[in-house]
Amino acid sequence: MLEPTVTTTVCHVLREDSDLLSAIDPARRERAIEECVVGAARVPRGRWSPQQAPMMEAGIGLLVLEGLLIGHVGIDGRSGSELLGEGDLLRPWQGEGIAPTLAVTTGWRVLESVRLAVLDEAAARRFAAYPELTGRLVARALERARNLAVNMAIVHQARVNVRLHMLLWHLADRWGRVRRDGVILPLGLTHTVLSDLVAARRPTVTSALSELARQGLVTPVKDGWLLSGEPPGELLELQQVGVSPPVQDSSPHVEP
């Protein structure tokens, strides 16, 4: 399932994922932490070609504990991309054995060294003793699908600077930290990665980012991107139909 360059260990996944742990009754949490021990794998930066192993056929999938990666799906020379990080559940081999009607290509690239909890068949049996975990994991998968739908809506915006502005605020809903001077998005997203995410050419993205900087809306900083002002109105409209609330109202991370 994992390439030779990947290093593997074990981890107490509930100790590292507080959201999963919170689904379990407090009286049972310590026992659950000790019982729900799973394999963990660290994948270095660069291209990644995960393969399904027999133990994963009845397993749950891979849970991102830390790091950042991007998945690509291409048809006829054009591609769509999805950014994944901590808390995301994935099965990168899903559908690979099915011959599609269209000639589809897929690929994965690790942007920041990724650590994955391997929720294989053995882990699924341990998790079965705590059915509350099932709902949380299904919710993760559905939330990922909703975020992808928002990404698709963003890509359909006509102007690239609008796409970028919306995308960065959308990512800030999840990873942003509120400061007095704005919202920091602490992700080292290069212009090339951003061009993949908004389906535009890199030079066009560079020009659009310069325009957003001139307007005082988006500023590149050492630890990522600084977002100033309010989220674009179009994104707020998308959030009102079931996507997570704006970062100013929901983010628990407040910095001085």
Note down pLDDT in tens along the chain; length 256 residues. Answer: 555 456 678 999 999 999 999 999 999 999 999 999 999 999 999 999 887 555 577 789 999 999 999 998 877 777 789 999 999 999 888 765 556 676 777 789 999 999 999 999 999 999 999 999 999 999 999 999 999 999 999 999 999 999 999 999 999 999 999 999 999 999 999 999 999 999 999 999 999 999 999 999 999 998 899 999 988 876 666 655 544 433 333 343 444 4
61-75 and 89-90 strand pairing: antiparallel
Residue 152 lies in a domain: no
For residue 223, what are the domain limits?
Answer: 157-250
Residue 1 lies in a domain: no
Q: Are 27 and 127 in the same domain?
A: yes
Q: Are 92 and 126 in the same domain?
A: yes
CATH number of the domain at 71, please: 2.60.120.10
Which of 51, 66, 65 lies closest to 1, judged by CA? Answer: 51
pLDDT at 212: 96
* Burial category of 172 from C-beta neighbours within 10 Å (exposed 0-12, middle 13-18, buried 19 and up): buried
C-alpha R_g of the chain: 19
Contacts of 184 (CB under 8 A, 6+ apart): 176, 177, 221, 223, 224, 225, 226, 227, 255
Q: Are 205 and 112 in the same domain?
A: no
Residue ending a domain, choose from 113, 144, 175: 144
Name the domain count of the chain.
2
pLDDT at 115: 95
Residue 193 lies in a domain: yes
Q: Give the position of tokens 């074990």.
A: 10
pLDDT at 244: 43
Residue 66 lies in a domain: yes
pLDDT at 245: 39
Residue ending a domain, choose from 97, 114, 144: 144
Question: Phi/psi zone of residue 224: left (φ > 0), alpha (ψ -120 to 50 degrees), beta?
Answer: left
Q: Are 110 and 213 in the same domain?
A: no
Q: Are 167 and 92 in the same domain?
A: no
Q: Are 12 and 104 in the same domain?
A: yes
Q: Are 136 and 212 in the same domain?
A: no
Q: Are 26 and 135 in the same domain?
A: yes
Q: Are 42 and 82 in the same domain?
A: yes
Residue 117 lies in a domain: yes
Q: Are 201 and 92 in the same domain?
A: no
Q: Are 117 and 196 in the same domain?
A: no
pLDDT at 234: 64
Residue ending a domain, choose from 84, 114, 144: 144
Q: Are 183 and 241 in the same domain?
A: yes
